[in-house]
Amino acid sequence: MAASEARERLLRTASELFYREGIHAVGVDRIVNEAGITRATFYRHFPGKEDLVEAYLDEEDAHIRAAFAEAGAQSDEPRRLLELVIEGLADDVALHHTRGCPFINASAEYPDAGSAVRATVARHRSWFRETLEQLLAADGNADPALAAGELVLLRDAAMVGGYLDGWERVRPSFVAAARRAAGIPV
Amino acid sequence: MAASEARERLLRTASELFYREGIHAVGVDRIVNEAGITRATFYRHFPGKEDLVEAYLDEEDAHIRAAFAEAGAQSDEPRRLLELVIEGLADDVALHHTRGCPFINASAEYPDAGSAVRATVARHRSWFRETLEQLLAADGNADPALAAGELVLLRDAAMVGGYLDGWERVRPSFVAAARRAAGIPV
DNA sequence: GAAATGATAGAACGATCTTTCTCTTTTTGC
DNA sequence: GCAAAAAGAGAAAGATCGTTCTATCATTTC
């Protein structure tokens, strides 16, 4: 049951278009044309466009969790892991996510908090917050919940600021604030 | 030269719809129906929908500048002004901007950095950053540019976090981080 | 080899999108 | 009171939206 090649091309193309140009701004025509498939193939793999949006966000979520797992494989020390996470975030904004945060951008287009898309966003954010909190607690942080909250704040800010103001302008403030929030001496 | 009443109703209705539901998600039909005007009136006052979007963002910009001016009228002390700004930001997210930041949300839908909408966003953000920097410099901050950068970060984060996670969850982290960033003892 | 599944091709659906048009009525300024 | 500007109503343009359809071809599976 290897995922079909057409399906993978479809999802990859849609993800890139959604991220780069926005969701409502990209029509099904664009997607199927650039993916080199037909509408029939599209609707055989996904019930509708919104399910494709969910798959796009699920994929982003999986990427980030994989990056965390990879960092976890590099070190067992909580302090070192926190540093890796902060560095990884900075690199990610600088190199890959230069058009903002996929989850934040999608939420701007999906105001209904009960929608499936927003539920996917909420799931991702909960996982991120809880993972940071556990990491901070393992590092002996005095108030892991508060510190995790600050790191979530700063990740959002880095994504937005990197997109709208340019990363080179945001980087110093972000790194300084993030290390302080995590209780890591600068 | 009083702005016509129909135009005001149009802009007010459009602003609310754009903010609450997103820009691409709201059609001209919705706007003119809910504003109680006709398409002809719409296109007499604005060349097109995008100009209405710009007017919406300009209005948001004017509101925030007015709030700053009002704070400036309350005190001449830079330190007190910084506190007022941080408190005002927190209250604004809690009470009015519960659907995120109008500029960030609009930018999610307008990926072209050269577009008129994005230019309006950039103008607003430059003004905000520079105003903060001057305020911090007047307060004797050691590195006003860095601190202003951190406050911009934190405002973005507060807007996004308040929308997606709920303000009560974000507030403590925001206030603590903002006062620290501005060099105000907690 | 037959049957089932997945992909291709392309037309077509109704709905909605932004914009433009004509015509009539109301308000405003001098 | 008259001329000019603004707002009203409503049709209609042409494009694009998401979705569904029929029919054909390729590939796999038992």
pLDDT tens track for A10-31: 999 999 999 999 999 999 999 9
How sure is the predictor about A2, in pLDDT bands with cuts at 50, 70 and 90?
Answer: very low
Answer yes or no: do A82 and A59 share one domain. yes
Q: Is the pLDDT of residue B65 over 70?
A: yes
Cross-chain residue pair A173–B158, CB shorter than 8 Å: no
Average pLDDT over every residue of B71-91: 93
**Residue A129 and residue A64 in one domain:** yes
Q: Is A29 within 7 A of strand D by CB distance?
A: yes
Q: Of A11, A26, A46, at which residue does a domain stop? A: A46
Proximity of residue B6 CB to strand D below 7 A: yes
Q: What is the CA B45 to C1' C30 distance in angstroms? A: 24
With pLDDT > 90 as the criterion, what percentage of chain B qualifies?
83
Give residues 43-82 of chain A lying near strand D (Cβ < 7 A): 43, 48-50
- From chain A, pick out residues whose CB is under 8 angstroms from the CB of B26: none
Do B63 and B42 fall into the same domain? no
Same domain for B99 and B20? no
Across the A:B interface, residue pairs with CB atoms under 8 Å apart total 117
Number of residues in chain A: 186
User: Which tens digits make up the pLDDT trace of A69-100?
Assistant: 999 999 999 999 999 999 999 999 999 999 99
Q: Are residues B28 and B76 in the same domain?
A: no
Query: What's the pLDDT score for residue A1?
Result: 37
Residue A70 and residue B98: Cα distance in Å, rounded?
A: 36
- CB-nearest partner of A149 from B20, B164, B170: B170
Q: Is A122 on the interface with B (CB under 8 A)?
A: yes
Same-domain status, B58 and B38: no
Q: Same structural domain for residues B86 and B119?
A: yes
**Tens of pLDDT, residues B159-185:** 999 999 999 999 999 988 888 888 888
Q: Is the pLDDT of residue B186 over 80?
A: no
Res. B4 pLDDT band, cuts 50 70 90: confident
CATH classification at residue B174: 1.10.357.10
Domain count, chain A: 2
- Both A176 and A135 in one domain: the answer is yes
Distance CA A91, CA B165 (A): 25
A31/A66 same-domain check: no
Same domain, B67 and B97: yes
| Same-domain status, B70 and B34 | no
Q: Nearest residue of B to residue A108 by CA position?
A: B105
Does B183 lie at the interface with A, CB-CB under 8 angstroms? Answer: no
Report the residue from B25, B111, B158 with minimal CB separation from A109. Answer: B25
CA distances from A79 to A71, A74, A83, A93 (A): 12, 12, 6, 22
CATH classification at residue B32: 1.10.10.60
Is residue B104 within 8 angstroms of chain A, CB to CB?
A: yes
Asked if residue B59 and residue B144 are part of one domain, the reply reads yes
Structural domain harbouring B40:
1-46
